């Protein structure tokens, strides 16, 4: 791959912090515009120029097969499995598979640096992207920062440090912009380790979410929307608290999610080489999607540190999704007793494994499709990818 000189990029100037971004209110603060790579923003930004098919082919050698029901939902893949660390990393979001793979890649000399995100000293949820050069720095980035995070803001450092082999950890919108400018980075090898992502928020939005859902917002260190249809919060003292999805104060939370996330259709991080989430796996396990040979090489390094089992699918999500559409749309909130009861019933008879993942994808894609149709009608055709159009077409939407 041709190397790109530092001086060539220097001509373009990063935007000042806090200034309006080219994607305007749809900006997900991916960090690209905080670097001289802003010169490629019109081509690269996930919210200005959606181009999944082209980038899937560039990343995996082909685009997804829309007639294969699993690829329609989960993107191009070679292999899927449920997995967990035999010795989980304390303080990781789940069992720490992401941090483990990144550390192994550094220790084996596959890469010289890892783009990941720590938090600032002052605030446990304020993201601070870094290029980690030691296992300790990768470990310090473990656990989700459940806020928009400018992971790509450290891209200029690659040039400055003269790095040639890099791993980037990130969510879909960051990875779309990264893939679009990949060839400009002058790297010999780029590895991409992704997580699924949905319903992200600004730091202020996160506070509102915690304040409206939680008895002790200041002590929450970790939360996740789990497969048992509850949000699980973990507090500083190790105690946990669960709130049923259906009991969330949807009326107050309607505007809390970032407009970028309300118009995103890359829940499953289609362009990463390897994706590690949880939603297609049984409770307590993580869900791994190997998209290509590079992803296979990355996972291979951790094979002695993880237990795996095949993915499975149980139940039928369709009715639950159809019922969730007006609840999201009109901001309906159930009384807590009814929400708890509904949570228990759905957990017993509801979708499990890959069917749960499809439930989550369907309910978010229908909501997001309505959001884009109402707020950005001119963008609708080009912005919504074909796979998402087909998924949404399975449901009856309100006008």
Q: How far apart are CA 64 and CA 214, in angstroms?
A: 40
Question: Which residues would be at the binding site for ligand FAD (CB under 6 A)?
Answer: 92-99, 116-117, 127, 141-147, 149, 151, 169-171, 195-198, 200, 224-225, 276-279, 286-287
Which segment (28-36, 178-186, 189-197, 350-358) binds ligand SF4 by CB under 6 A? 28-36
Contact yes or no for 28/34 (Cβ under 8 A): no
CB of 10 to ligand SF4, least distance (A): 19
* Maximal CA-CA distance, the chain: 63
DSSP state of 263: T
Q: Which of 93, 75, 94 is nearest to 84 (CA)?
A: 94
Per CB under 6 A, does 177 bind ligand SF4?
yes
> Half-sphere exposure of 347 toward its Cβ, with a 13 Å CA cutoff?
17
The neighbouring-strand residues paired with 240 are 234
Q: Output 50 or 366, the one with its CB closest to ligand SF4.
A: 50
Q: Output 196 or 244, the one with its CB closest to ligand FAD.
A: 196
CB of 27 to ligand SF4, least distance (A): 3
Contacts of 228 (CB under 8 A, 6+ apart): 283, 343, 347
Which of ligand FAD, ligand SF4, none binds 145 (CB below 5-8 Å, type-dependent)?
ligand FAD
Which segment (41-49, 119-127, 322-330, 348-356) binds ligand SF4 by CB under 6 A? 41-49
Burial class (CB in 10 A: 0-12, 13-18, 19+), 249: middle
CB of 328 to ligand SF4, least distance (A): 24
Window 144-173: contact mask with ligand SF4 (x via CB under 6 A): -----------------------------x
Helix and strand numbers, DSSP H then E, in the chain = 17, 13
Q: Which of 9, 27, 258, 265 binds ligand SF4 (CB under 6 A)?
A: 27
Q: Which of 30, 163, 262, 272 binds ligand SF4 (CB under 6 A)?
A: 30
CB of 177 to ligand SF4, least distance (A): 5
Detail the DSSP E strand segments found in 16-140.
79-85, 113-119, 127-132
Window 282-301: contact mask with ligand SF4 (x via CB under 6 A): --------------------
Q: Output 173 or 186, the one with its CB closest to ligand FAD.
A: 173
Tokens of 388: 């998402």
Residues that bind ligand SF4 (CB under 6 A): 21-23, 27-30, 32-33, 41, 45, 47, 173, 177
């Amino acid at each position: 791959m041709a190397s790109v000189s530092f001086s060539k990029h220097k001509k373009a100037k990063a935007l000042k912090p806090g200034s309006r971004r080219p994607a305007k209110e749809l900006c997900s603060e991916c960090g690209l515009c905080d670097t001289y790579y802003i010169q490629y923003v019109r081509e690269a930004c996930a919210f200005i120029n959606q181009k999944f098919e082209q980038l899937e082919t560039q990343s995996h050698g082909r685009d997804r097969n829309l007639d294969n029901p699993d690829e329609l939902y989960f993107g191009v893949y070679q292999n899927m499995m449920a997995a967990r660390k035999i010795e989980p990393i304390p303080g990781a979001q789940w069992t720490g598979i992401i941090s483990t793979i990144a550390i192994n890649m550094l220790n084996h000399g596959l890469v010289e640096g890892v783009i990941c995100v720590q938090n600032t000293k002052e605030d446990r949820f304020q993201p601070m992207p870094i290029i980690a050069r030691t296992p300790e720095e990768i470990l310090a980035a473990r656990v989700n920062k459940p806020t928009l995070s400018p992971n790509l803001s450290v891209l200029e450092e690659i040039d400055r440090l003269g790095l040639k082999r890099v791993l980037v950890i990130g969510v879909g919108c960051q990875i779309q912009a990264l893939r679009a400018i990949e060839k400009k980075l002058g790297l010999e090898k780029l590895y991409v380790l992704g997580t699924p992502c949905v319903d992200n928020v600004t730091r202020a939005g996160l506070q509102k979410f915690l304040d409206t859902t939680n008895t002790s917002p200041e002590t929450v260190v970790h939360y996740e929307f789990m497969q048992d249809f509850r949000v699980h919060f973990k507090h500083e003292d190790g105690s946990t608290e669960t709130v049923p999805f259906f009991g969330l104060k949807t009326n107050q939370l309607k505007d809390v999610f970032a407009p970028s996330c309300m118009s995103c259709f890359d829940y499953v991080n289609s362009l990463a080489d390897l994706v590690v989430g949880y939603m297609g796996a049984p409770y307590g396990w993580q869900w791994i999607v190997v998209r290509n040979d590079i992803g296979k090489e990355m996972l291979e390094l951790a094979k002695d540190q993880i237990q795996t089992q095949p993915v499975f699918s149980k139940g039928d999500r369709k009715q639950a999704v159809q019922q969730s559409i007006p609840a999201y749309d009109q901001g309906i909130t159930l009384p807590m007793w009814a929400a708890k009861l509904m949570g228990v019933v759905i957990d017993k008879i509801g979708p499990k494994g890959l069917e749960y993942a499809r439930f989550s994808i369907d309910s978010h894609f229908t909501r997001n499709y309505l959001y884009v149709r109402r707020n950005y009608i001119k963008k609708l055709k080009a912005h919504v990818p074909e796979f998402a159009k087909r998924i949404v077409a399975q449901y009856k939407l309100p006008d």
